[in-house]
Amino acid sequence: MRVCTKDNLLRMTLILLGSAALGTLLLVLAFCIPTDAMRSNVAESLDSMIKSEEEIPDGELSHYIWKNKETYTDAIMVQNAVEKISGRNVYEHAMWIYHNDLEPEFWTPEASLRAFCEGETTDNMYLHEYSRYWHGYLIYLKPLLLVFSWSQIVVIGAVIQLFLLLAVIIISVKKKQAGVGIATVIGFFFMKPLLILASLTMSVCWCITLSALLVMLSCHERLEKKRLYPEAFLLIGIFTSYFDFLTYPIVTLGFPLCAYFLIERKCTLKQSFLKIIGYCTCWGTGYAGMWACKWLIADVTLHTGTIKDALWSVLGRTESIGGRPRMNGGFYVISLNLQEYKSELYAVAAVLVLLAFAAVLLAAFRTSAKETILRMAPFAVIFCIPFIWIIVVQHHSALHARFTFRILGVAALALCCIVTAGLQTLKKPVKEKQYSYNMIVTK
């Protein structure tokens, strides 16, 4: 069985190239929007969004949210939206993504954004660029900033996330796939959900993930019948590359993969492994391919040097940490990411592991060893994906552990799926032992 046919490959090529062209056009159009009103709206909410330690509201929950919010990257996103460099056209803005900073080398986005919105002359600031990312979030952030303040956009984002999550739960129950909804909620629980809800940066991958789950739950039969899942995973990778700021992208792969194998139970073991490899490849092609298109477009049209800069960045992000051997460094970085959790979550994780082990035993008792492996193996493989990602991209995962730890939500989700798969065996009668005629003892 082939995961991708020639038709799939042709459509995927056209989708990737079309996405790069459309993404470029949308960014250019976004930079046509005047920035004066945006700047005023951002200035209006600066005091509420960027706070010093002394200004953080009282209360344990408020203190936790304000102290741990990802305002550093949020400030970069917002300043990218409101910047307008004289003498540069909209296409140059779309490719280079300029912003002014108070420092020449080390960025200080929060202080720079405040100075910029309070009228600090850019003559005393340093012009930087961020061309190796698409910054696709600007196509919705810039129009929103025309009407709303930064604080209001965060609230709107939180409402959208809650709506999407509720929709996933409702549709999963309606489609008799409640396990997908429950596992999604538990996986989200391992991603510091309050901080995702309160952040522009951290919400991007989560919104993409929930949207993908909604499409899968609503259209699984059609996607499977027409063999459109390769294109679906390609698009998920493209959207992640276009909109995300390299936060926790593997979540947009792991959650849909788990959902697929909860919904689709007719695969053989070989088919399951081929689909995992195939869909991961499709997602990776969309993710890396879309990124490469940005580098190529910027370099060919403006000679930005983005390809060289991006390749050096890739090498830096994937190098082993602290001169350690690759695997040794990988395990060290995994421990750094695990340290982002409070001690209470370790207990929850332990319970999940025990429940998963019990589910495997239950499935083996209710069915057979072969069927148990068939049910559980896909989730066991997906469980390993976030750890493999951390080992491969360990320098980035160490430097930004405060948000990369969220990919471990995929591991928690996979454990939940194993539990769900085990519980599904309760619907089947217990396997009956077969006795031969010679085993029957008569008087």
Average pLDDT of 243-267? 93
Residue 343, pLDDT score: 82
Residue 342 has pLDDT above 50, yes or no: yes
CA distance linking residue 161 with residue 373, whole number of Å: 35
> How are the residues of the chain apportioned to helix, strand and coil, as percentages rounded to the nearest 5?
75, 0, 25
What DSSP line would sit under 266-303, residue for residue? ---HHHHHHHHHHHHHHHHHHHHHHHHHHHHHHHHHH-
pLDDT in tens, 132-168: 899 999 999 999 999 998 889 999 999 999 999 999 9
Residue 53, pLDDT score: 54
Tokens of 71: 């305002």
Residue 93 has pLDDT above 60, yes or no: yes
Average pLDDT of 62-85? 80
pTM of structure: 0.91
Average pLDDT of 170-187? 95
Average pLDDT of 16-24? 97
Residue 312 has pLDDT above 70, yes or no: yes
Question: 13-22, 46-55, 170-179, 239-248: which has the minimum mean pLDDT?
Answer: 46-55
Residue 443, pLDDT score: 35
Residue 439, pLDDT score: 38
Q: Say which residue, 443 or 111, is predicted with more confidence.
A: 111
Q: 333: part of which helix (H) or strand (E)? A: helix 326-338
Average pLDDT of 49-63? 60
Residue 400 has pLDDT above 50, yes or no: yes
Residue 434, pLDDT score: 38
Average pLDDT of 49-72? 63
Question: 43-47, 83-87, 207-211, 439-443: which has the minimum mean pLDDT?
Answer: 439-443
Summary mean pLDDT of the chain: 88
What DSSP line would sit under 178-234, residue for residue? HHHHHHHHHHHHTT-HHHHHT-TTTHHHHHHHHHHHHHHHHHHHHHHHTT-HHHHHH
pLDDT in tens, 350-373: 999 999 999 999 988 888 888 888
3-class state of residue 100 by DSSP: strand
Residue 151, pLDDT score: 85
Residues of the chain with pLDDT > 70: what percent? 91
* Distance between start and end Cα atoms, the chain: 55
User: Please, which pLDDT band fits residue 305 given cuts at 50, 70 and 90?
Assistant: confident
Average pLDDT of 189-203? 93
Domain residue ranges of the chain, discontinuous segments joined by +:
20-139, 149-427
Residue 120 has pLDDT above 90, yes or no: no
Residue 429, pLDDT score: 57
Q: 373: part of which helix (H) or strand (E)? A: helix 369-392
User: Please, which pLDDT band fits residue 233 given cuts at 50, 70 and 90?
Assistant: very high
Residue 54 has pLDDT above 80, yes or no: no
Residue 438 has pLDDT above 60, yes or no: no
Average pLDDT of 79-102? 91
User: Please, which pLDDT band fits residue 1 given cuts at 50, 70 and 90?
Assistant: low
Average pLDDT of 212-240? 95
Return the sign of the alpha-carbon dihedral for residues 301, 307, 313, 317.
positive
Q: Say which residue, 325 or 33, is predicted with more confidence.
A: 33
Average pLDDT of 285-295? 94
Tokens of 265: 């139970």
Average pLDDT of 397-404? 90
Q: Say which residue, 261 or 267, is predicted with more confidence.
A: 261
3-class state of residue 147 by DSSP: helix
Residue 407, pLDDT score: 96
Question: 33-47, 156-170, 344-358: which has the minimum mean pLDDT?
Answer: 33-47
Q: Say which residue, 428 or 425, is predicted with more confidence.
A: 425
Residue 441, pLDDT score: 38
Average pLDDT of 318-330? 79
User: Please, which pLDDT band fits residue 433 given cuts at 50, 70 and 90?
Assistant: very low
